[in-house]
Amino acid sequence: MEGVFPAIITPFKNNSVDYEGLKKNIDFLIENGVNGIVTVGTTGESPTLSYEEHNKVIEKTVEFVDGRVKVIAGTGSNSTREAIELSKFARDVGADALLLVAPYYNKPTQEGLKRHFVKVAETVDLPIVLYNIPSRTGVNIAPETVKFLYEECSNIVAIKEANPNLSHVSEIISICNIDVLSGNDELTLPIIALGGKGVISVLSNILPKEFVDMVNYALKGDFSRAREIHYKLYNIMKLMAVETNPIPIKTAMNMLGMPAGELRLPLCEMSQENRLKLKKALEDIGLLKS
């Protein structure tokens, strides 16, 4: 699994999912050369989607993509049974792969993580991307666990690695051949330099072509050109984490007139101070007129 996979936002209008806006955003991304679409992940505000909304967003994403690129559906849960149910639905409506976050809040042991992922992988025969984001889940998927899962389950093919410790990434790549995708935009280039294959990206919701170019240059070994893009975007990459994701990216999309809409509580609007920083960053890279 290689390239740029935007973790798309879920646009809302009057507290309902804006499916017309969802289609518009998907078309924009595909027209700009992304390799796939990741739907109902963290950036898609999956924790505040109802079960019915979650499934419908997956179904409509598959419909709107219409086979042009791969659809990776976020179907992780802190309940193994629920993760299986979501994954079966995604499979049945035509998703190409699954994104499975480490179970959150209940903080399983490494043995519990192994059993959880193996159970889903054995039950739903789709390619699986593990998702390691210890800052949100409270548990880190250890490199040895990643190796075990990759070797045990033929359909566990990649990991979205959002542990910012590059030694952790290096250890994974050194002990197994799983495809590593960056889960942090600003670490995309360093992770590819270590042997990673691309990124599941937040900022590519508004800058898909730039991310596609950066990743393609890096994968071809043209790090000089890749660095130019990395540093051009570096400030706004950092601003994507100035408040909890997806607050900054949805704020930026609304500033740019793209379908995004409101955030759902407990997430709320960006502070005025950070809005001004974001506005200036969008002006600096030429997306907004000053």
Q: Which of 70, 114, 131, 250 is catalytic?
A: 131
Give the C-alpha separation, 261 to 12, whole Å. Answer: 5
Query: Residue 43 annotated as binding?
Result: yes
Q: How many CA atoms lie within 13 A of 179 on its CB side?
A: 18
Is 160 annotated as catalytic? yes
Number of Cβ atoms within 10 Å of the Cβ of 8: 25
User: DSSP characters for 172-190?
Assistant: HHHH--PEEEESSGGGHHH
Q: What angle do CA 168, 174, 179 make, to 5 degrees?
A: 80
Q: Which of 160, 197, 250, 277 is catalytic?
A: 160
Cβ-contact 26, 12 below 8 angstroms: no
Overall size of the chain counted in residues: 290
User: DSSP characters for 89-156?
Assistant: HHHHTT-SEEEEEPPPSS---HHHHHHHHHHHHHHS-S-EEEEE-HHHHS----HHHHHHHHHH-TTE
Q: Which residues are annotated as part of the binding site for pyruvate?
A: 43, 200
Q: Which residues are catalytic?
A: 131, 160
Q: Which residues are annotated as a binding site?
A: 43, 200
